[in-house]
């Protein structure tokens, strides 16, 4: 076993910008990069291993070759690889959308639903997003407001700042606003129901597809109940601080602010994902050493053992 450095599949959706290329070292001929899928075993985009004996293989192939034990015992309850981690650069507003929960998504789409978490990595001054509704509304009002283009009047608009955390339960209406860069940790699903899209057209010149009937089926027509702050307090250690951003049945996510070094252990319960958001690090262990720069992502298999992150950097650490 060794630390697997991953190359992310990239998505050039129409609302994307160029920061993932210019600031996060994503090498591509695409004019814009809306999303980089930093940890992915999804059919719509697989992480590729960039180093060592498995270089050039997908993460899916690595897991198939080495067995499900590399995911950890916490993943035994999941049929497929459980999570997907993205960096998202919203130069323009994303569509107003919603994701279904597991039962509906499996029945209608053939894949699991999507609960997700957003960590605001950077944003322009005054940037905002949509998060649920201002107040409870009925299904009839929801449908009428979609039809007469007044939906935004009842959406809960939230101004954001760097470090904010949004937990998006399946069924929560949401939309990332322009000028925001996000780290997203989510269930391993790509099912999205678009409700409103500002009248935009796709690359084919036609209005982008909406999924109104399905959205009406699955949307929770109420205000959000969770705060937009980290779930835990910042804990200070010798050489770094650690903050619990969010934990749920699908993932646990920490923000690490490393000033000098931090020691960690990967036991048999879960793999760990290390995503560098700022600075430079050296990840070292008995099994290998790897340098991480801004935008780099590493997969550490379950039962990997002890490792050290040394340098000055901001990191998102994720496990199941």
d(CA 244, CA 259): 18
pLDDT of residue 199: 86
For the residues 195-222, what does the mean pLDDT come to? 92
Q: Are residues 281 and 140 in the same domain?
A: no
Domain boundary pick from 193, 218, 243: 218
Which residues constitute the domain of residue 174? 4-218
Residues 61 and 90 in one domain: yes
Residue 228 lies in a domain: no
Q: For position 203, what pLDDT does the model report? A: 79
Tell whether the model's pLDDT for residue 206 goes beyond 90: no
Q: What is the mean pLDDT of the chain?
A: 97
Per the model's pLDDT, the better-predicted residue between 1 and 138 turns out to be 138
What pLDDT was estimated at residue 205?
85
DSSP line for 121-160: EEE-TT-EEEEEESS---HHHHHHHHHTT-GGGGEEEEE-
Contacts of 231 (CB under 8 A, 6+ apart): 165, 167, 244, 245, 246, 247
Return d(Cα 148, Cα 169) in angstroms, integer.
Answer: 27
Positions annotated as catalytic residues are 194
Is the pLDDT reported for residue 270 higher than 90?
yes
| 265 plus 186 within the same structural domain | no
pLDDT at 190 over 90: yes
Q: Are residue 151 and residue 267 in the same domain, yes or no?
A: no
Mean pLDDT of 94-115: 97
CATH code of the domain containing 291: 2.60.120.10
% of the chain with per-residue pLDDT over 90: 96
For residues 225 and 290, give the distance between their C-alpha atoms in angstroms, rounded to a whole number: 41
Q: How far is CA 148 from CA 135, 152, 153, 308, in A?
A: 19, 11, 11, 56
Helix (H, G, I), strand (E, B) or coil at 74: helix
299 shares a domain with 201: no
pLDDT at 294 over 90: yes
- Whether residue 111 contacts residue 163, with contact meaning beta carbons closer than 8 Å, is answered with no
Please check whether residues 107 and 212 belong to one and the same domain. yes
Q: What is the mean pLDDT of residues 242-269?
A: 98
For residue 50, what are the contacts with CB-CB under 8 A and spacing of at least 6? Answer: 5, 6, 7
pLDDT given at position 140: 97
What pLDDT score does 208 carry?
86
Domain-terminating residue out of 218, 252, 280: 218
pLDDT of 207 reads 86
Rounded Cα–Cα distance for residues 77 and 19 (Å): 37
Helix runs in the chain, H state only? 19-22, 59-66, 102-108, 139-147, 212-218
- For residue 226, being part of any structural domain is answered with no
Question: In the predicted model, what is the mean pLDDT of residues 164-184?
Answer: 98
The verdict on residue 225 lying in a domain is no
How far, in Å, CA of 308 to CA of 263, rounded?
4
Residues 187 and 122 in one domain: yes
Q: Is 148:101 a contact under the CB 8 Å cutoff?
A: no
Query: Is 229 contained in some domain?
Result: no
């Amino acid at each position: 076993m060794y630390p697997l450095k991953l190359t992310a599949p990239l998505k050039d959706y129409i609302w994307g910008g160029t920061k993932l290329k210019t600031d996060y070292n994503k090498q591509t001929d695409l004019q814009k990069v809306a999303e980089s899928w930093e940890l992915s075993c999804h059919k719509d985009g697989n992480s590729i291993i960039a180093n060592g004996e498995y270089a050039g293989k997908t993460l899916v192939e690595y897991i198939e070759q080495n067995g499900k034990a590399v995911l950890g015992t916490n993943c035994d309850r999941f049929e497929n690889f459980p999570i997907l981690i993205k960096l998202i650069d919203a130069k323009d507003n994303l569509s107003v959308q919603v994701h279904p929960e597991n039962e509906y998504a499996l029945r209608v789409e053939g894949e699991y639903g999507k609960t997700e978490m957003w960590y605001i990595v950077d944003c322009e001054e005054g940037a905002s997003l949509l998060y649920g509704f201002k107040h409870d509304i009925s299904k009839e009002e929801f449908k009428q407001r979609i039809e007469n283009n007044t939906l935004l009047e009842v959406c809960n608009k939230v101004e954001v700042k760097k470090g904010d955390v949004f937990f998006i339960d399946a069924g929560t209406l949401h939309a990332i606003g322009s000028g925001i860069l996000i780290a997203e940790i989510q269930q391993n699903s790509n099912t999205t129901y678009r409700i409103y899209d500002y009248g935009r057209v796709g690359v084919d010149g036609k209005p982008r597809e909406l999924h109104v009937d399905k959205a009406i089926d699955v949307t929770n027509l109420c205000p959000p109940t969770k705060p937009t702050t980290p779930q835990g307090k910042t804990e200070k250690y010798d050489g770094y601080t650690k903050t619990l951003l969010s934990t749920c049945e699908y993932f646990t996510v920490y923000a690490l602010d490393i000033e000098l070094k931090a020691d960690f252990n990967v036991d048999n319960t879960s793999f760990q994902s290390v995503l560098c958001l700022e600075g430079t690090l050296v990840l070292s262990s008995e099994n290998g050493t790897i340098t991480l720069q801004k935008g780099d992502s590493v997969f550490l298999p379950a039962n990997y053992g002890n490792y050290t992150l040394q340098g000055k950097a901001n990191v998102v650490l994720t496990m199941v």
